[in-house]
Amino acid sequence: MIVGLGPGPAEWMTPEASAAINAASDVVGYGPYLDRLTLRPDQRAHASENRLELDRARLALKLAAEDRAVAVVSGGDPGVFAMAAAVFEAIEEDPRWLKLDVRVAPGVTAMQAAAARLGAPLGHDFCAISLSDNLKPWAIVERRLRAAAEGDFVIALYNPASQARPTRIMQAFDLLRGAKAAATPVAFARAVGRADETLTLTTLGEADGSLADMATLVVIGSSETRCIVRDGARPWMVTPRAYGAGR
């Protein structure tokens, strides 16, 4: 079972995910995700480093092939920039693994948690792009950012910056500034649902890429996205259901 733990708090973890963890003899995952769980003494935790998704997937499949009840855990939704793809890639390596009963338990992903806090920025057509170029050429990221601007999608950016490459998000903003209005609303949603949650609302013209780290989800509006100003509180960021109604 490939299990999504959601963005962090227990209130965002589905009952299916909780039941899958509970039923597992072995839980495989990136260390910080395992740290969120309280396992029983009879359950084995297999922690590994961040970038080793394929090793993690192989270990999980090997254990499952030994008739262990395995849960592979991901933050957010395992299907969105997370462990599900890695497990299926690993399955292709060994025909015996094709016979395993593999299931995916979806979860709330970072962009949904961010959207919930911000108002309704994803209320209309949107796209999700990972700025990580570990596994894809930067040229495809640029092509997708251009296409997203051309299609006037709301854009959710995952992995906007890492310690190794802190400037990806600046490059993305620079590219989008050439294609979208400077007044386009932009939000930085960091660690949503966790103790150090931070939300920053700005515009594409003013957006400071250095606010983003690996725990940040960046949302960039479409031409229709607007901010609803409130007294004494952060504005709501909303993409209305209708397109072109205000023009």
Q: Within 117-146, which residues bind a second copy (CB under 8 A)?
A: 117, 119-130, 135-137, 140, 143-144, 146
67 binds a second copy (CB under 8 A): no
247 binds a second copy (CB under 8 A): no
Contact region for a second copy (CB under 8 A) — 24-32, 108-116, 160-168, 178-186?
108-116
- Please tell me the distance from the alpha carbon of residue 247 to that of residue 232, in angstroms, as a whole number: 29
DSSP assigned state of 208:
-
- Give one DSSP letter per residue of 97-154, joined into a string: GGGS---EE----HHHHHHHHHEETTSS-EEEEE---SSS-HHHHHHHHHHHHHTT-E
* Identity of the amino acid at 125: D
195 binds a second copy (CB under 8 A): no
Determine how many CB atoms are found less than 10 A away from the CB of residue 151.
Answer: 12
Over the window 144 to 163, marking each residue x when it contacts a second copy by CB under 8 A and - when it does not, the resulting string is x-xxx-xxxx----------
Count CA atoms within 13 Å of residue 125 on its CB side: 9
Contact region for a second copy (CB under 8 A) — 36-44, 65-73, 109-117, 165-173?
109-117
23 binds a second copy (CB under 8 A): no
107 binds a second copy (CB under 8 A): yes
181 binds a second copy (CB under 8 A): no
- Please tell me the distance from the alpha carbon of residue 147 to that of residue 209, in angstroms, as a whole number: 21
CB 1 within 8 A of CB 72: yes
CB closer to a second copy out of 16 and 44: 16
Burial label, 187 (beta-carbon count in 10 A; 0-12, 13-18, 19+): buried
Contact region for a second copy (CB under 8 A) — 4-12, 65-73, 159-167, 174-182?
4-12
61 binds a second copy (CB under 8 A): no
**Interaction residues for a second copy, span 196-235 (CB under 8 A):** 228, 230-231
